Amino acid sequence: MLKPKLLVVLMFYCGSLSAMQLNSQNAIVIDERNGQVLLEKNADVVVPIASLTKLMTAMVLLDSKANMGEKISIEEEDKDQLKHSRSHVPIGSSMTRREALQLALMSSDNRTAAALSRTYPGGQGAFMVAVKSKLIALGMGHTVIREATGLSPENTSTAADLVKMTQAASRYPEIADITTASEDSVTLKNGRSREFHNTNRLIGKKGWDILLSKTGFTNEAGACLIMRVKLADKKATMILLNARAGSARWTDALNIGKLLGYKEEIKAKTVRRHKRHR
């Protein structure tokens, strides 16, 4: 039996979340302690998911037990022929599968994600078979994935389905570690080293304990964000899809974070003293 005061706090907490105005067109927030839906907005509507796809690519790759220390090369066929997006990974670069996975997840690089599916044990066909099997195993009946990068608008899902993918991905220590790293350096073509950064600007932000993260963007999908967070001893999964501006998803995430217990640090104002002239 809940004490009256605690019950009032819980009702206020859940009510505040449910009443929140979101920029994201599709969203869901789950309290991981009890599976309670704290916030929901068009969570069962099927929409493109952009680079959130790469979490599935990572899980399927790791399930295959491929040699993560083996070198793979980035080839011409790994270039984005659909949207002609840019990449900081030159054609002809060689790196380990582990490094390629790092760039695909942390900095959302499309060429490395394409190379991982191309060099999947058994080839591209085997990769797609494994993806379909994984979707079935996770009960993601409203999700379709056609390719490894998320560039195709035919890669679609619902916010509710993506909760299943997020929570499954969090059980892979490699994925959790990579997606919550702020930056890393990788040696590319001609032995040149380049620093790559996480696409999630909340990584490393004071007060945010992020357990798993992935961003995404295409014109069709809008700005997307997946996170598992621990704030004020509360673990939650948040899925934000189809915000029409990149800044809008961060506004949504910050507002949700505040209601989950995040306290934004307020910088003290500096008092400027003017000299008196005589």
**Which positions are annotated as active-site residues?**
51, 54, 108
The CA-atom distances, in angstroms, between 40 and each of 68, 225, 236 are: 38, 15, 13
DSSP 57-123: HHHHHHHTT--TTSEEE--GGGS-SSS----SS-TT-EEEHHHHHHHHHHS--HHHHHHHHHTSTT-
Query: CA torsion angle for 36, 39, 45, 46 (degrees, to 10)?
Result: -80
Q: How far apart are CA 252 and CA 17, in angstroms?
A: 11
Q: How far apart are CA 213 and CA 210, in angstroms?
A: 7
Beta bridge partners of 29: 39, 238
> Is the Cα dihedral 177, 164, 55, 20 positive or negative?
negative
End-to-end C-alpha distance for the chain, whole angstroms: 73
Q: What token pair was written down for 96?
A: 């380990």
Place of tokens 């295409």: 218
Q: What token pair was written down for 23?
A: 């920029």
